[in-house]
Amino acid sequence: MTIRQLVYITEIAKEKSISQAAERLFLSQPALSLQIHALEEELGYTLFDRTSKGLQLTEAGKHFCAEAQQLLDHWENFRRQVLPTEKQRRRLRVGLGARVYSNLLFPAVAAYFEKRPQLEVTFLTEAGMDAYSALREGKLDLALDRMPESEIQGPDSACSAWELIREQQCVLAGSQDPLGKRESLRFPELEKHPILTGLAGSVEDRLLQEEFRSHGIAPGRIFRSDSIDTLMRMVRSGSGIAIGPRSFASYYGVTAVPLDPPQQDSLYFACRKKDVRKPEIRAFREYLLDLCNKL
């Protein structure tokens, strides 16, 4: 039995749902279910009953949760006593692009910072955020996102970047969209189709506009949003298509059709050049590079 399992049980008891608790805990539902099953096996009794109102604690589960909450309260007090004070913590502002989630890296990112209480981390995840510009302007300390390669590789770039994952770029379409049935698609074939992308001026929007210009064509109707979830819901509903990495297909439940000729794009770790040697940034970069090399 572990402290972490006690946290899992009390969170499920609050939410009355394993799926909602898993979302709040940044876990997959199967992984959380396995943890609860393992704990019930160890205890020798059931903690939850399934009812029309969701999961409900059994009588034994109620007793377990009451005792667990007391222990967690003591645990939290202990942590406050021994962990670094607010003044001792170093702050990091980390921009996270959608590719972090679609490549299933976020649990590893969260686990890394969970083990380092000396770091106070703020995650910024807006789809419309231009992470490269935010880095240059000092609004972020580092970013895990798509980057404009022509800019980060230029001699005047204020940022340094390391490639974490390189992926095939695809046309993302709904399951009922005729384009989703194709084996590949050439960019000029997209000219008259509604395009879904980020806010005007975002990296996604700028790179998409450059792509259209390079083919000498103009995009049709464009829908923009600062929420990647909203954009992917529109793709699934057949309201338009988007350009993105293959990993978006399974993660967001859409169809991915490779571009022809093949194109690739990357998820980068990026920070300002002057911050490259900061211990907290260097250590996190080395952790992610080692992790992604093993994928």
Residue 47 is predicted with a pLDDT of 93
Q: What is the CA radius of gyration of the chain?
A: 23
Assess contact for 194 and 220: CB atoms under 8 A.
yes
- Spell out, as residue ranges, where the chain has pLDDT lower than 50: none
Residue 267 is predicted with a pLDDT of 95
Residue 226 is predicted with a pLDDT of 84
Measured N-to-C along each axis, helices 3-15 and 29-43 cross at an angle, to the nearest 10 degrees, of 110
Assess contact for 94 and 140: CB atoms under 8 A.
yes
Pick the CATH number of 167-264 from 3.30.930.10, 3.40.190.10, 3.40.50.10860, 3.40.50.620: 3.40.190.10
pLDDT digits (tens, 9 = 90+) for 159-204: 999 999 999 999 999 999 999 999 999 999 998 899 999 888 888 8
90-165+267-293 and 167-264, same CATH topology: yes
Reported CATH class of domain 90-165+267-293: alpha beta
Pick the CATH number of 3-82 from 1.10.540.10, 3.30.450.70, 1.10.10.10, 3.40.30.10: 1.10.10.10
Per the structure block, which two tokens stand in for 43? Answer: 């205890």
Whether the full predicted model's pTM is greater than 0.85, yes or no, is no
Q: 267-294 burial string, b = 16+ CB within 10 Å, else e?
A: bbbbbbeebeebebbeebbeebeeebee
Hey, where are the domains in the chain?
Answer: 3-82, 90-165+267-293, 167-264
Residue 85 is predicted with a pLDDT of 62
Cα torsion angle, 10, 43, 34, 112, sign: positive
Rounded to whole angstroms, the Cα distance separating 33 from 15 reads 14
Residue 128 is predicted with a pLDDT of 61
Question: What separation in angstroms does the CA of 150 have from each of 108, 210, 220?
Answer: 29, 12, 26
- What is the CA angle 65-71-77, rounded to 5? 135
Q: Is 115 exposed, middle or buried (0-12, 13-18, 19+ CB in 10 A)?
A: exposed
In the chain the first and final C-alpha atoms are separated, in Å, by 30
pLDDT digits (tens, 9 = 90+) for 108-134: 999 999 989 889 899 998 656 788 889
